Amino acid sequence: MQLSPSAHADTFCRDSLPPPVQWPELDFSLPGLNYPDRLNAADELLDATIAVYGADRRCLLTPTETWSYRDLAVRASQVARVLTDDLGLLPGNRVLLRGPNNPWLITCWFGILKAGGVAVTTMPMLRAGELATIGEIAQVRLALCDHRFTADLAAANVPDLRIISYGSGGENDLSALMKGNELGFWSVRTAADDVAIIAFTSGTTGRPKATMHFHRDLLAVADTFSKHVLRPLPDDLFAGTPPAAFTFGLGGLVLFPFRVGAASLLLEQASPAQLADHIAAHGVTVLSTAPTAYRAMLAAGKAEQLRGLRRPVSAGEHLPAGTWQEFYDSTGVKIIDGIGSTELLHIFIAAADDQIRAGSTGLAVPGYHAAVLDGEGKPVPDGEPGRLAVKGPTGCRYLSDDRQLSYVRDGWNLTGDTYVRDSDGYFWYQARSDDMIISGGYNIAGPEIEEVLLSHPDVAECGVVGAPNAARGQIVKAFVVLRDGVSGDDAKARELQDLVKQRIAPYKYPRAVEFVPGLPRTNTGKLQRFRLREQAAGTE
């Protein structure tokens, strides 16, 4: 594959791309995906949007303030000028971002892209050791950090890292450097295939993987899933729980609203009940969050506050049919389920409106192709489980990582999920490929059992994995969080086991049930099954 001439003076990202022979096949045949060779995503998402919709439109909201598109454009240009004139940023330099979802984080992100830099956005919850690893992999030498979260970043001891804080208003703060800087900024004319962001995703070995995404990729996910499935309107107000450091959050809070002139409500922190109240108070119409949050908002008695949602999106883990139906029955609103990955940037299988089939993830998003393959890379018949494989305008490009060879094979991105496709082209989630439980010769998918357990009124959360067993290879083990006031004893365990036996094939019931106070989850609410497997490893 021939790359365009880069605008990056610092060639680290180009040099760290996997060789083109290891890339997945890319498909830009969908109308609207033919981007010019020179492209800066910040200009397309901000300046081009202002040209169409006007600068006075609301852009970024918090519970206490509202920024217009003009406000953001002016400040992003000021940040870009500070980066280049005062801090010596060269196009291609990586800049680490650290802070919660607020307008200044988004301003810095746009400023980095306008200056031709590469944004490496991280969560404020990360600790020094994790930040040190990110700094090492991405080779960052400059960081823009919320003033409340500098301690761990300083403690990471990233070599030669210069930290500029923002949000404090102090004399060394970013805002102080921006004062008097009203000259504007001409964005660097980056190539469409210059790296714009590096997003980190967890690795099974414990070492994170750095995924590199081009300027055109940021537009492609907006021009596929968002345009054709989500179908946002300029007057929509977006909100969500994922941090902007996660590509799920970046799409739902920045890329999708900015592509159509809409606005985002940014919440630094909110419980499910508080989230529902913010949705009602501000008139949020598009929401991105995980299935657990939808369940928790209903459990908190907040169904009425959610009726104004127009396009709720669920991703991060499987959305059970029961959760979808309960939400629809309670609110009259249909959740758009979807599966995406950091490697492909955002959602590539989903369905909306009358195309939704509860329990199914949906259909391949326009612009993407999906298949279910066997271990040799050949398609399996419809109705049989196999490995989910995807290709489209975005795809996996790890930064100097041999795991590229296992994620991309024969042109396909292999997501690590086991799926079944039906005769109508709908994809039905079974399990993560390494989460499939094989017990006594039977293949058992943990999420199917979880859905049954979650239907019990005493079960607040649960996670199901395989536990080693000498006789059966593995047995099904359920980790169950009970609702407040309910005792977890042998009688309750038998009650749950009997429920599973009654609802699905008896061989799938959990032979071991452990009651726990909580489940290990990521910061976006995704269940960490690998940690449950570690806990179950000594179970017989």
The secondary structure of 68-83 as a DSSP string is: EHHHHHHHHHHHHHII
In angstroms, the CA 422 to CA 363 distance is 10
In angstroms, the CA 400 to CA 413 distance is 17
In angstroms, the CA 47 to CA 25 distance is 31
Tens-place pLDDT, residues 290-325: 888 999 999 999 999 999 999 999 998 889 899 999
In total, the chain counts a number of residues equal to 540
Tens-place pLDDT, residues 427-470: 999 987 777 787 876 778 888 899 899 999 999 999 999 999 87
CB within 8 Å of 354: residues ≥ 6 apart: none
Instruction: Give the DSSP letter of residue 310.
Output: S
- CA 202 from chain center: how many Å? 12
- CA 204 from chain center: how many Å? 17
DSSP H or E stretch at residue 512: strand 512-515
Res 126: pLDDT: 85
The angle subtended at Cα 362 by Cα 356 and Cα 366, nearest 5°, is 110
Which residues in the chain land under pLDDT 70? 1, 203-206, 441, 538-540
Res 206: pLDDT: 56
Q: Write the CA distances from 447 to 287, 461, 478, 529, integer angstroms.
A: 24, 12, 11, 11
Residues 465 and 437: beta-carbon distance below 8 Å: yes
Residues 352 and 245: beta-carbon distance below 8 Å: no
Res 540: pLDDT: 44
Q: Which domains does the chain have, with CATH numbers?
A: 26-367 (3.40.50.12780), 435-536 (3.30.300.30)
Res 441: pLDDT: 64
Quick one: which of 163, 137, 158 has its CA closest to 148? 163
In angstroms, the CA 100 to CA 87 distance is 23
Half-sphere exposure of residue 71, counting CA atoms within 13 Å on the CB side? Answer: 14
Give the three-class secondary structure for 138: helix
* Tokens 């950090």 sit on residue: 145
Res 254: pLDDT: 98
Give the tokens for residue 67.
Answer: 């920024």
Half-sphere exposure of residue 93, counting CA atoms within 13 Å on the CB side? Answer: 21
In angstroms, the CA 489 to CA 338 distance is 36
Query: What sign does the dihedral 447-451-452-458 (CA atoms) show?
Result: positive
In angstroms, the CA 24 to CA 20 distance is 8
In one-letter notation, the amino acid at residue 421 is R
In angstroms, the CA 109 to CA 199 distance is 13
Dihedral-angle region of residue 383 (phi above 0 means left; psi in -120 to 50 means alpha; beta otherwise): left
Tens-place pLDDT, residues 239-293: 999 999 999 999 999 999 999 999 999 999 999 999 999 999 999 999 999 888 9
In angstroms, the CA 336 to CA 313 distance is 5
Give the tokens for residue 267.
Answer: 């919440």
DSSP string, 246-263: SHHHHIIIIIHHHHTT-E
Maximum Cα–Cα distance for the chain, whole Å?
74
DSSP H or E stretch at residue 174: helix 174-178
Which residues pair with residue 386 across a beta bridge?
Answer: 419
Mean pLDDT across the chain: 94
Quick one: which of 154, 310, 134, 292 has its CA closest to 232? 310
Give the tokens for residue 537.
Answer: 């490893």
40-72 b/e (C-beta count within 10 Å ≥ 16 → b): bbbbbbbbebbeeeebebbbbbbeeeebbbebb
**Phi and psi torsions of 296, nearest 5°:** -65, -35
Quick one: which of 529, 119, 524 has its CA closest to 288? 524
89-124 b/e (C-beta count within 10 Å ≥ 16 → b): bebbbbbbbbbbbbbbbbbbbbbbbbbbbbbbbbbb
Residues 327 and 299: beta-carbon distance below 8 Å: no
